[in-house]
């Protein structure tokens, strides 16, 4: 844990910390001008991104330990053992959260529900254009950007879908009588199916 950071709050017991380099990064990103609203919007976007990671970390059964916002972006530290799909999901969680905000902002704007005024216009610009650029940047497949791992998410999702489909087909094929008969609990059916698979495997071994 960096001593150059200040804890400003918690999200589900995960400390949210601002690193000393954050103001410098915001100043540079806003074109070296004094623009507190821009800084606030950027900080909000980065925070949203990191919280997106933290939410997925929880969903896949790991534990987020820290959310840090720095001058170079931010990072969500976590611990625990996750599957490769879970790891890829964590990497894409940040961008997913940004996409949700982008789509909501676009929908609100398109439906003419977005409020008028200078502040509202700056926030809209941050939630759409700036958010879009950050998403595009983050998804470049280069470490340490999220894109280096995030693109594995749809790929692994596809793999999982195929495996599930294959298993479902095999269950219907191999244990058709067991499943369709609907006799016994799901656990019994699974056990019978496992026994059948074992006997098939033994036969295969003996060949």
The two structure tokens encoding residue 23: 């103001």
Total residue length of the chain: 207
6 binds another protein (CB under 8 A): no
The only residue of 7, 83, 159, 183 in contact with another protein, by rule CB under 8 A: 159
What minimum distance in Å lies between the beta carbon of 191 and another protein? 5
Beta carbons within 10 angstroms of residue 201's beta carbon: 10
Q: Which of 70, 92 has the CB closer to another protein?
A: 92
Q: Which stretch binds another protein (CB under 8 A): 10-18, 37-45, 155-163, 168-176?
A: 155-163
What minimum distance in Å lies between the beta carbon of 158 and another protein? 3
Q: Which stretch binds another protein (CB under 8 A): 15-23, 68-76, 173-181, 192-200?
A: 192-200
The only residue of 23, 154, 176, 184 in contact with another protein, by rule CB under 8 A: 154
Distance CA 140, CA 157 (A): 19
Percentage helix, strand, coil for the chain under 3-state DSSP, each rounded to 5? 65, 15, 20
Q: What is the largest CA-CA distance in the chain?
A: 78
The only residue of 6, 137, 142, 195 in contact with another protein, by rule CB under 8 A: 195
The number of residues that bind another protein (CB under 8 A) is 32
Closest by CA position to 42, among listed 17, 23, 58, 19:
23
């Amino acid at each position: 844990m960096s001593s150059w950071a200040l804890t400003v709050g918690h999200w589900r017991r995960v400390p949210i910390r601002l690193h000393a380099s954050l103001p410098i990064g915001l100043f540079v990103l806003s074109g070296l001008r004094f623009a507190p609203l821009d800084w606030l919007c950027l900080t909000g976007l980065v925070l949203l991104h990191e919280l997106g990671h933290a939410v997925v970390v929880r969903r896949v059964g790991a534990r987020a330990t820290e959310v840090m916002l720095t001058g170079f972006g931010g990072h969500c530290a976590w611990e625990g053992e996750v599957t490769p799909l879970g790891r890829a999901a964590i990497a894409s969680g940040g961008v997913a959260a940004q996409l949700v905000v982008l789509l909501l902002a676009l929908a609100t704007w398109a439906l003419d529900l977005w409020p008028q005024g200078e502040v509202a216009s700056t926030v809209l610009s941050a939630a759409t254009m700036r958010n879009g650029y950050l998403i595009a940047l983050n998804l470049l497949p280069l470490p340490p950007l999220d894109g280096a791992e995030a693109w594995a998410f749809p790929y692994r999702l596809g793999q999982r879908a195929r495996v599930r489909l294959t298993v479902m087909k095999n269950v219907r094929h191999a244990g058709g009588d067991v499943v369709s008969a609907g006799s016994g609990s799901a656990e019994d059916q699974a056990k019978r199916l496992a026994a059948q698979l074992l006997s098939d495997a033994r036969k295969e071994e003996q060949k």
